[in-house]
Homo-oligomer: A and B are copies of this chain.
Amino acid sequence: MIVLFSDFGLEGPYIGQMKAVLHAAAPGVPLIDLFSDAPVCDPKASAYLLAAYSSGFPEDCVFLSVVDPGVGGDRSPVVVRTADHWFVGPDNGLFEPLIRRSCASVSAWVIRWRPKKLSATFHGRDLFAPVAARIARDDFPHQGGNRDFEAVSPEVLRRQDWPDDLAEIVYIDQFGNAITGLRSSTLRRGQTLAVNGKTILLAKTFTSVAPGDMFCYENSNGLMEIAVNKGRGSDVVGIEVGAVVEIAEL
């Protein structure tokens, strides 16, 4: 299974062009759109989203992960292997929380392979998708490297100064629910979230609170999320992607 994670937008040609490359190079492998609207040109917020939402996918999935404002510049294209999954994308911090949180050993490669035709602005299609397809069809060095893929220490990909969890809104969904980059497991008993100095009710699900009430809860991927029952959490407090959240005592 190849899972697509990008800020390309589901509309427009980009996702389809990548899928055409994937279908041709790895026929029969299912393709899943996870996020096509990751935080635009924001590898940091995207990284915490990717780390949370890649969990739960079948083992050995390949995550084609492209949030890449530096395309055409000098950032390296890389492959990362965690205990469960493969990740292909740019070296701009997108895989930092995955590496940081991985209990098992992580492997990493810098992609030295280049396609015959490499556009300046669409490495997702021209470079990352062919590599994802090679991994999916098991044409990739599991140990060590080769001419196309240089094995490197995962440490060279690290962003040591980034936090373990990101205390920001990283995504607002169709319902206006605002997802943070904070895992619920980072909150101690008796703690909740606050936004703009306002402490938010902690609850379990929508039907636990009255219509119109704002609350926060552990979402279905383990992240803290802010919502309003029968309303839009993002409207009520004017939350946008990038807004800071705080941990508060109940």
Contact = CB atoms under 8 A, between A and B. Distances in A.
Contacts of A9: 173-175
Interface string A112-135: 000000011110011000000000
How many copies the complex holds: the figure is: 3
A208 B73 CA distance: 8
Given A7-B174, A58-B24, A121 B205 contact: yes
Contacts of A37: 11-12, 174
Interface stretch (A13-21, A99-107, A155-163, A188-196): A13-21
Contact of A126 (B13, B126, B220): B220
Chain A to chain B: the 8 pairs with minimum beta-carbon distance, closest first: A9-B174, A72-B205, A122-B220, A73-B207, A119-B220, A120-B205, A16-B34, A11-B37
Interface of A: 1, 3, 7-17, 19-20, 23-24, 27, 30, 32-37, 40-41, 53, 56-58, 69-74, 119-122, 125-126, 171, 173-175, 204-208, 217-221, 230
